Amino acid sequence: MHWGEIFDHSHDSHNVKRLLKLIERNPSIFSKAALRKRKEKDLANALHLVDDFMDSVKEPTASDFKWLEDFVKQRRKVYGKCYKQIRDKHYAHKQRGDITVFVAQSDKRELARLVTDLNNLHGAIWHWYRNGVKPQKLHLSRSAGKDVVTRTEKLLRSLP
């Protein structure tokens, strides 16, 4: 999947907005009952562990879904500020126009945070689904952030 697809606004693309709408419209996939079924299947040989595990699980609330939506909305703003133009003008449509203005507006730490935050969002939703752990505030991981910064610097140097 590419940046443009992740933040695309069209209703028929597989983007993060569509994913969040799917989650919001189907909160039962995060219910205790649904998680119990998944855990009973996973722990078929140790069903006695399921009850203990389920004691710590909380049902999702509307504010959980709202928080995810706000989180993505903020990341979409960061993407739209200059990275969308770099993607659209250079990578997606191969226009060899001048993108130096957009590159100058880019910030490697900001881009690193954007990439890391999207990865963390994926992990948070996965753990919510698989383990009943509600998403918490996500922060830029130092080690992951440094790796992303290094790769981002390399990408920005490769641009004309």
Q: What is the pLDDT of residues 96-124, one digit of tens each?
A: 666 565 556 666 777 777 778 888 888 88
Distance between CA atoms of residues 136 and 125, nearest Å? 10
Most confident of 23-37, 109-123, 130-144, 146-160: 23-37
Q: What is this structure's pTM?
A: 0.69
* Whole-angstrom distance, CA of residue 23 vs CA of residue 29: 8
Pair of tokens at residue 60? 């999702």
- How far apart (Å, rounded) are the C-alpha atoms in residues 60 and 31? 7
> How does residue 59 score in pLDDT terms, banded at 50, 70 and 90?
confident
Pair 83, 114: CB distance under 8 Å? yes
- 129: tokens are 């689904």
